[in-house]
């Protein structure tokens, strides 16, 4: 399986994503933001970081970069596209997924392990993962997901809420919401569910010596769906 | 141009005698640009004029030392052709004036020192010290500093893996911000700052030069008064995004051998970087200042030479490599400009609009810089306080423990380190909050442990003992995670060196740390001195900060401090003598601030440390933690909180009072958790190596149980430990 990770100036999880994809068997290529074409891929990843410094609204400049047109084209043809953290912010700025990511509720950068419940129906990202509650990791300043009530309703009706923050028992409540996201939303799909944007970093939790190993399920599941 | 006179020289921070010496050496009066250059190079921050004499004595050699002090950072060998580059640096003065930018650029500066040498930064640490929590500035300074450190480190994508925060009223007017970075490099790809060869192009890369930070280095060597906030314009402004680009571009250029020498523009900007490279290579340098990329109009040569705009580097390149190098910097959208060349004149010659605007023999700026043998006063060891049973009457261990765990200097600092990205790069295997942070050496089985420590109260009470103590504590913290201690870096934060008391504190702390460093074979490979940490003539407590680095050969052998399984036995290795003077217990509970710090017995320190490390390597220890602030009881409580386990203490039968046993801060001790079936084996090894030990309890679920006192729930203790800082910052 072939994957491409886009490097924007200021990306800083590009290497981590490359390491994770290769660990689970992807043949990964790094693609420079100024290129116009994505090499032949089954999966495209927009990694975390601070693209162009994020001095303007997070992800907004990356959404206008050279490479982004081919990312959109790839996605529109049904290709699998993942945006993690800053990558999620970029997906939102391109309009590929719905919503907005605001400053965290307590106005602080948060770096810690969190628990999420994933939506396993009709998508290739979480469908066959056996574990109900995944322990992943967040590290962001602007991950407070927001959307209009209409959008929320249509996403709910269409099963587009991908991941929600919960506690270790699976309870979804204000207490298990790290950043103030509406409905504890940590990640969403587009309508066709080939695009996933989410704040948690699966690539940082892929070994038992790291803060969790649950990111492994994510990559293993993804790969098993692509074979 | 303004005619230079003695008054202008004094306004530049030079002393009368120093100005006289400049005129004599030059055999003429300097012009303003030249005076600016002299004042930058001769100030304390760049010249080490008060400290040099004493720093020369430091133990800087060792089998694993590749590069000691004198370069951008120190370098140590960690085997398999890998090396670790590391250094700690202060950014105290700017952080007090503008906490966010001061702290952010402190991180930026130390990162550049490390990647200048060809290393990819793999971990950041910091040691930050604030005034009393009740001081009205403390909260906003703390918030600003933490956001600044996070803002820079998080953006550039280097994990902040450990740190230290303290509060003491002596920092009310002078906070301390010390930042440390570690980088990884192949042994044969280390870059140095020594220029070589004639007519080699001198290249400016990175951000454009602005008027920010002019005279930052001089400000860093000045005392503070009421008007210090007016100095805000001397604080630099950081741009971590540009630094990230600069990092990637430099590492890309470093893949081949086109760089002869490289130096970041830190304190005193273009001045010190050009002078240092030429001076080390015993060359001259010619710079054309109109070629320096500027972000503001009409900048004068004086301003260009003294600007401390961030994210800039100066490179001496091989001839003919300019085009290829420029392509790399163009790709990363960074400025690249050939601004001069190396010469054989041994002078720094500056041109602007085709006019020669400065011409100074480089020796005068480096070797001829003043060096002082400051007067210093020896400290006496304070008299020991005689505590009696009466002092402990009415006290309950459990109450004392709650109070200590929620005191500002012992409480959990999670509120702080949760704001630092400590997991980016995917190799962090021990996060902040333990004895040391640990990262894997990417793609290998090795791991690097790092810690920062300081003990200002001990150093203030008796600098010689305090100096020794910090080195020992650093060593212990590395051992506690299973790492072999290799080397240290120091950041020496002191008051005014012109005062014999402050100078004495410096001299004796350095002597103490040197003694411990020699005994433990734990050499100093890099460092920095920050003097004049005083406001309105009141100096800080002497605060040498030590950053230690150790190696774990197989990362799977790393251990953490959280208690692991019920039924395991808890031992304390090292003798508990009951030294309460200068302890948290004495200060927080008995309100007694006098007395000597705990004594350091280097033989026991080394012997206990080596045995514990051996036990860890033999996989006989499940968890370990050193005994430091708050003694055995505080140490164990923290192990319980982290492991969500409890302890049932055996009945205490010792000779000293139980408060002395549980809360004294005697040095050289470790708390270890051992499986029941291994206890005899462990005892045998401890006996064989003549290590004193006490068996003190057994791991249980959920509670701390001290025989005749009420049981304490560990969950509740965790709240006590965590709440203080959360509430303080929210209210």
Give yes or no for B207 touching A (CB within 8 A). Answer: no
Residue B716: which H helix or E strand, with range? helix B714-730
Q: What is the pLDDT of residue B230?
A: 62
For residue A76, how many C-alpha atoms fall within 13 Å in the half-sphere facing its CB? 8
Give the distance from CA B24 to its chain's centroid: 39
Best residue in B146, B151, B157 for a mutation probing chain A (most A CBs within 10 Å): B157
Q: Is residue B220 scored above 60 in pLDDT?
A: no
- Residue in A with minimal Cα distance to B447: A209
Torsion angles phi and psi, residue A103, rounded to 5: -60, 140
Structure tokens given for B258 = 């086109």
Q: What is the pLDDT of residue B2?
A: 75
Q: What is the mean pLDDT of residues B663-676?
A: 98
Under DSSP, is residue B372 helix (H, G, I), strand (E, B) or coil? coil
CA distance A111 to A201: 11
Q: Is residue A111 scored above 90 in pLDDT?
A: yes
Q: What is the dihedral of CA B94, B100, B103, B108, to 10 degrees?
A: -110
Residue A53: DSSP 8-state: G
Q: What is the mean pLDDT of residues A187-196?
A: 97
| Tally of structural domains, chain A | 1
The tens digit of pLDDT for each residue in B436-491 reads 999 999 999 999 999 999 999 999 999 999 999 999 999 999 999 999 999 999 99
Q: Sorting pLDDT into bands at 50, 70 and 90, what band is B708?
A: confident
Q: What is the pLDDT of residue B45?
A: 86
Question: Contacts of residue B429 in chain A, CB cutoff 8 Å?
Answer: 209-210
Tell me the helices (H) and strands (E) count for chain A, helix number first. Answer: 5, 11
Tell me the helices (H) and strands (E) count for chain B, helix number first. Answer: 26, 28
CA distance B127 to B545: 7
CB A24 within 8 A of CB A223: yes
If DSSP states are collapsed to H, E and C, what string results for B669-708? CEEEEECHHHHHHHHHHHHHCCCCEEEEEEEEECEEECCC
Under DSSP, is residue B722 helix (H, G, I), strand (E, B) or coil? helix
Give the number of other CB atoms < 10 A from CB of residue B25. Answer: 16
Give the number of other CB atoms < 10 A from CB of residue B389. Answer: 8
Domain hosting residue A41, numbered range: 2-226
Annotated catalytic residue, options A13, A58, A85, A147:
A85
Q: What is the mean pLDDT of residues A60-85?
A: 96
Structure tokens given for B105 = 């650029």
CB B140 within 8 A of CB B292: no
Q: CATH number, domain at A75?
A: 3.40.50.880
Compute the nearest-CA separation of B640 from chain A (Å): 19
CA-derived radius of gyration, chain B: 26
Taking only residues 419 to 478 of chain B, the set having a beta carbon closer than 8 angstroms to any beta carbon of chain A reads 419-426, 428-429, 431, 440
Q: What is the mean pLDDT of residues B644-656?
A: 94
Question: Is A201 among the residues known to form the active site?
Answer: yes
Q: Sorting pLDDT into bands at 50, 70 and 90, what band is B231?
A: low
Structure tokens given for B482 = 């299973």
Annotated catalytic residue, options B12, B91, B215, B422:
B91
CB A206 within 8 A of CB A25: no
DSSP β-bridge partners for residue A30:
A5
Q: What is the mean pLDDT of residues B105-109?
A: 96
Give the list of residues 6+ apart from residue B10 with CB closer than 8 angstroms, or none.
Answer: B16, B19
Of A10, A112, A203, the CB nearest to B418: A112
Q: Sorting pLDDT into bands at 50, 70 and 90, what band is B212?
A: confident
Compute the nearest-CA separation of A131 from chain B (Å): 23
Of A16, A54, A110, the CB nearest to B425: A16
Residues B335, B341, B342, B347: is their CA dihedral positive or negative? negative
Pairing between strand B623-626 and B693-701? unpaired
Listed in order, strand segments (DSSP E) in B560-653 are 569-573, 623-626, 645-649
Cβ–Cβ below 8 Å for B423 and A141: no
DSSP β-bridge partners for residue A102:
A144
Q: What is the pLDDT of residue A227?
A: 73
- With b for 16 or more beta-carbon neighbours within 10 A and e for fewer, the B595-622 pattern comes to bbbbebbbebbbbbbebbbebbeeebbb
The tens digit of pLDDT for each residue in B506-559 reads 999 999 999 999 999 999 999 999 999 998 888 999 999 999 999 999 999 999
- With b for 16 or more beta-carbon neighbours within 10 A and e for fewer, the B444-466 pattern comes to bebbbbbbbbbbbbbbbbbbbbb
Residue B600: DSSP 8-state: -
Best residue in A111, A142, A203 for a mutation probing chain B (most B CBs within 10 Å): A111
Cβ–Cβ below 8 Å for B419 and A109: yes
Q: What is the pLDDT of residue B225?
A: 67
Q: What is the mean pLDDT of residues B86-97?
A: 95
Lowest-confidence segment of A108-122, A211-225, B202-216 by average pLDDT: B202-216
For the question of whether the overall pTM of this predicted structure is more than 0.80, the answer is: yes
Query: What rounded mean pLDDT belongs to chain B?
Result: 94
The tens digit of pLDDT for each residue in B126-167 reads 999 999 999 999 999 999 999 999 999 999 999 999 999 999
Q: What is the pLDDT of residue B709?
A: 86
User: CB contacts < 8 Å between A and B, how many?
Assistant: 84
Q: What is the pLDDT of residue A59?
A: 95
Listed in order, strand segments (DSSP E) in B209-311 are 259-264, 284-288
Lowest-confidence segment of B43-47, B176-180, B671-675 by average pLDDT: B43-47
Q: What is the pLDDT of residue A106?
A: 87
Residues of A with CB under 8 A from a CB of B: 9-10, 12-13, 15-16, 19-20, 48-50, 52-55, 108-112, 137, 139, 141, 201, 203-204, 206, 209-211
CB B480 within 8 A of CB B670: yes
Q: Is residue A171 scored above 60 in pLDDT?
A: yes
Q: What is the pLDDT of residue B218?
A: 58
> Which value does ipTM take for this structure?
0.96
CB A161 within 8 A of CB A119: yes
């Amino acid at each position: 399986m072939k994957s491409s990770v886009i490097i924007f100036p200021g990306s800083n999880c590009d290497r981590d994503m490359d390491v994770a994809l290769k660990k689970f068997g992807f043949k990964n290529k790094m693609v420079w933001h100024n290129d116009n074409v994505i090499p032949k891929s089954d999966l495209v990843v927009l990694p975390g970081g601070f693209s162009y410094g994020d001095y303007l609204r997070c992800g907004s400049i990356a959404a206008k970069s050279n490479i982004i047109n081919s990312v959109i084209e790839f996605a529109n043809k049904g290709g699998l596209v993942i945006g993690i953290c800053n990558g999620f912010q970029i997906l939102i700025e391109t309009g590929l997924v719905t919503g907005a990511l605001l400053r965290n509720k307590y106005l602080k950068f948060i770096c810690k392990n969190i628990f999420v419940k994933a939506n396993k129906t009709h998508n290739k990202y979480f469908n066959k993962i056996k574990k109900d509650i995944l322990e992943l990791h967040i590290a962001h300043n602007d991950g407070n997901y927001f959307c209009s009530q209409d959008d929320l309703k249509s996403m709910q009706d269409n099963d587009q809420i991908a991941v929600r923050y919960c506690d270790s028992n699976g309870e979804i409540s204000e207490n298990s919401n790290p950043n103030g996201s509406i409905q504890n939303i940590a990640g969403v799909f587009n309508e066709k569910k080939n695009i996933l944007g989410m704040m948690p970093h699966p690539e940082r939790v892929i070994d038992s010596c790291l803060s969790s190993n649950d990111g492994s399920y994510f990559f293993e599941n993804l790969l098993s769906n692509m074979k | 141009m303004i005619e230079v006179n003695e008054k202008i020289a004094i306004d530049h921070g030079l002393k009368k005698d120093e100005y006289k010496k400049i005129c004599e050496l030059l055999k003429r009066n300097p012009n303003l640009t030249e005076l600016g250059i002299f004042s930058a190079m001769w100030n304390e921050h760049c010249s080490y004029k008060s400290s040099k004499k004493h720093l020369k004595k430091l133990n800087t050699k060792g089998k694993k030392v590749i590069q000691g002090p004198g370069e951008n950072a120190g370098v140590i060998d960690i085997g398999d052709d890998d090396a670790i580059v590391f250094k700690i640096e202060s950014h105290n003065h700017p952080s007090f004036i503008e906490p966010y930018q001061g702290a952010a650029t402190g991180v930026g500066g130390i990162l550049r020192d490390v990647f200048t040498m060809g290393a990819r930064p793999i971990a950041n640490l910091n040691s930050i010290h604030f005034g009393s929590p009740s001081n009205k500035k403390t909260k906003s300074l703390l918030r600003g500093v933490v956001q600044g450190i996070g803002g820079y480190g998080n953006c550039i994508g280097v994990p902040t893996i450990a740190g230290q925060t303290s509060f003491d009223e002596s920092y009310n007017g002078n906070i301390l911000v010390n930042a440390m970075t570690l980088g990884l490099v192949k042994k044969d790809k280390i870059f140095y700052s020594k220029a070589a060869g004639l007519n080699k192009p001198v290249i400016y890369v990175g951000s454009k030069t602005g008027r920010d930070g002019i005279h930052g280095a001089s400000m860093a060597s000045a005392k503070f008064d009421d008007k210090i906030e007016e100095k805000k314009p001397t604080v630099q402004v950081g741009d971590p995004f540009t630094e990230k680009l600069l990092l990637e571009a430099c590492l890309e250029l470093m893949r081949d051998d086109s760089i002869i020498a490289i130096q970041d523009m830190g304190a005193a900007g273009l001045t010190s970087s050009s002078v240092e490279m030429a001076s080390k290579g015993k060359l001259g340098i010619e710079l054309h200042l109109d070629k320096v990329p500027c972000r503001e109009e009409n900048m004068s040569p004086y301003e260009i030479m003294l600007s401390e705009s961030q994210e800039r580097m100066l490179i001496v390149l091989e001839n003919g490599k300019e085009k290829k190098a420029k392509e790399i910097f163009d790709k990363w959208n960074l400025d690249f400009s050939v601004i001069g060349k190396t010469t054989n004149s041994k002078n720094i010659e500056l041109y602007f609009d085709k006019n020669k605007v400065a011409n100074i023999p480089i020796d005068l700026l480096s070797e001829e810089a003043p060096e002082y043998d400051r007067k210093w006063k020896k400290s006496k060891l304070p008299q020991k306080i005689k505590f009696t049973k009466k002092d402990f009457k009415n006290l309950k261990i459990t109450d004392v423990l709650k109070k200590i765990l929620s005191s500002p200097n012992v409480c959990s600092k999670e509120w702080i380190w949760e704001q630092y990205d400590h997991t980016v790069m995917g190799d962090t295997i021990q996060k902040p909050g333990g004895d040391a942070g640990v990262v894997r050496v990417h793609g290998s089985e090795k791991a690097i442990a790092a810690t920062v420590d300081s003990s200002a109260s001990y150093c203030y009470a008796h600098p010689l003992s305090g100096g020794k103590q910090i080195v020992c504590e650093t060593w212990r913290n590395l051992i506690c995670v299973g790492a072999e201690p290799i080397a240290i870096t120091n950041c020496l934060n002191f008051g005014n060196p012109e005062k014999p008391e402050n100078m004495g504190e410096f001299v004796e702390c350095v002597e103490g740390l040197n003694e411990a460093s020699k005994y433990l074979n734990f050499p100093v490979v890099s460092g920095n001195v920050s003097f004049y940490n005083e406001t309105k003539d009141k100096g800080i407590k002497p605060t040498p900060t030590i950053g230690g680095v150790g190696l774990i050969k197989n990362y799977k052998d790393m251990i953490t401090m959280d208690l692991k399984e019920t039924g395991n036995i808890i031992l304390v290795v090292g003798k508990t003598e009951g030294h309460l003077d200068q302890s948290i217990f004495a200060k927080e509970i008995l309100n007694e601030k006098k007395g000597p710090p705990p004594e350091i017995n280097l033989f026991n320190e080394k012997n206990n440390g080596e045995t514990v490390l051996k036990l860890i390597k033999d996989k006989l220890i499940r968890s370990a933690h050193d005994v430091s602030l708050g003694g055995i009881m505080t140490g164990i409580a923290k192990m319980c909180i982290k492991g969500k386990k409890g302890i049932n203490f055996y009945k205490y039968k010792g000779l000293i009072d139980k408060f002395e046993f549980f809360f004294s801060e005697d040095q050289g001790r470790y708390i270890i958790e051992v499986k029941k079936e291994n206890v005899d084996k462990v005892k045998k090894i401890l006996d064989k190596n003549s290590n004193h030990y006490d068996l003190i309890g057994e791991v249980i679920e959920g509670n701390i149980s001290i025989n005749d006192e009420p049981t304490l729930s560990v969950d509740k203790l965790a709240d006590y430990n965590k709440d203080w800082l959360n509430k303080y910052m929210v209210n």
